[in-house]
Structure 1
Amino acid sequence: MGRGFLLMLLLIALPAAAQIYKYTDANGNTAYSNQPPDGVKARPVELPPLNSVAPSTPPAPPAEANSREQSRNAYEVLELTGLPTTEALRANNGTFTVSVLIKPRLQGPHLFRLLLDEQPYGQPSNVPILQLVNIDRGEHSLAVQVINGESVVQQSPSVTFTVQRVHKP
């Protein structure tokens, strides 16, 4: 191994405040140590200060970048279809389906989640036909969200509709 390599190993292995000594050993070779050896003439080695770089935290992206990314991920069309808005929905047992119109199609990890009267309804799904079961008669609002985990990516406009059920005595 070359002397420069040994010096580099010593420099790397020793703490920053350590003193390095250079001397000639009994075999006539130049050697380096962090302590002057007994009975041998050793010279302190002047070391340049060590370069150090403090870890830096990347700056937060500007708010505009976040809004651009959200609009870039947004769906052009997200709405519910299959609900009558001018007349009552006739569902004798309160069970019916609604369809989701979405463009472009649903992305990878995204799922649909219904909001019935502004509350999450049923299990999230990647199927654009969603069923509602045993919905009480009367007026309700319904919207669909595209979610990614617990985050809402986008929400459709709410649709107000009335459920009409026949109650048998």
Structure 2
Amino acid sequence: MRYWLLVACLIALPVTADVFTYIDAQGNRVFTDRPGAGNAKRVPITPSNRMSANPTAAPPVAAGKKNEARAPFHYDMVRVLIPEPDATVRSSAGELIVSVTSEPGLQRGHRFRLLLDDEPVAEPGPSPVFPLSDVDRGSHHLSVEILDEQGRTVERTANQPFHMLRISLAQKRQAKPCAQEDYGQRPECPLKDRPEEQKSSFLPFF
């Protein structure tokens, strides 16, 4: 009974006071706030939990999680796959297929947007493939953006150069002249340009 009374006294001590314990001459454990009594040893006290004065206020940890949830998603890698950097594309119509990729894959609600010479060339969308046509002859650069649901830029690649070499029909015909059977089959060999077949100079005999 005396032990529990001493424990009650210990609880009643101020939380900021140091508590000591020792065994008295009768073999009883004694708790006190006086360090000089007997061979008293300090008793370690675990800090008490504290409640917020405003119970409706969100705890700091919850606020941290809320801020973390609002952090923008980060892609480890976004780049243009095709054409390769500094590639030369040959097309008489200035056509090419651009392919892009990301790691991890495109997240839900995000969209790719391709830029040619810093100008968007198509509506943003989930497809990583962009067909282009009538690209002017000369050097250009490509870049790709990833947009979120609000149209904000999440990621953007650096500009990647390529070179468009548009071969004219005349150059194609010069490189490979049109044969009689090519007219109407090859774009550079239209039917209207097919020469008339030479007629034989020998008259048929009756």
Give TM class, smaller chain.
0.5 to 0.7
Name the count of aligned residue pairs: 104
So what's the TM-score if we normalise by structure 1? Answer: 0.55
So what's the TM-score if we normalise by structure 2? Answer: 0.46
Residues 94, 133 of structure 2: 8 Å contact kept? yes
Q: Deviation digits for residues 91-135 of structure 1, max 9, x if unmatched?
A: 221111111121111011111001110111111120111111211
Determine which structure has greater relative contact order: mean sequence separation of CA pairs < 8 Å that are 6+ residues apart, divided by chain length: 1
Residues 140, 163 of structure 2: 8 Å contact kept? yes
1:87 CA drift (Å): 4.3
**Matches of 2:78 and 2:96 in 1, distance apart?**
20
Residues 92, 169 of structure 2: 8 Å contact kept? no
Q: In the alignment, residue 152 of structure 2 is paired with which amino acid?
A: S
The structure number with the bigger radius of gyration is 2
**Matches of 1:118 and 1:168 in 2, distance apart?**
30
1:85 CA drift (Å): 3.1
Structure 1: runs of 5 or more not aligned:
1-60
**Matches of 1:79 and 1:142 in 2, distance apart?**
10
Match in the other structure for 2:159: 158
Change (3 A) 1:102 1:92: same
Match in the other structure for 1:146: 146
Change (3 A) 1:76 1:150: same
Match in the other structure for 1:69: 71
Task: Say what the alpha-carbon RMSD is for the aligned residues.
Answer: 2.2
- Look up the SS of the partner of 2:124 in the other structure: strand
- Look up the SS of the partner of 2:168 in the other structure: coil
Match in the other structure for 2:59: none
Structure 2: runs of 5 or more not aligned:
1-62, 171-206
Q: Deviation digits for residues 57-82 of structure 1, max 9, x if unmatched?
A: xxxx99xx68x923xx1111100011
Q: Counting strand residues as a fraction of each chain, which structure ranks higher? A: 1
**Matches of 1:120 and 1:82 in 2, distance apart?**
17
- Look up the SS of the partner of 2:71 in the other structure: helix
**Matches of 1:153 and 1:133 in 2, distance apart?**
27
Match in the other structure for 1:82: 82
% of aligned pairs identical? 29
**Matches of 2:129 and 2:109 in 1, distance apart?**
18
- Look up the SS of the partner of 1:125 in the other structure: coil
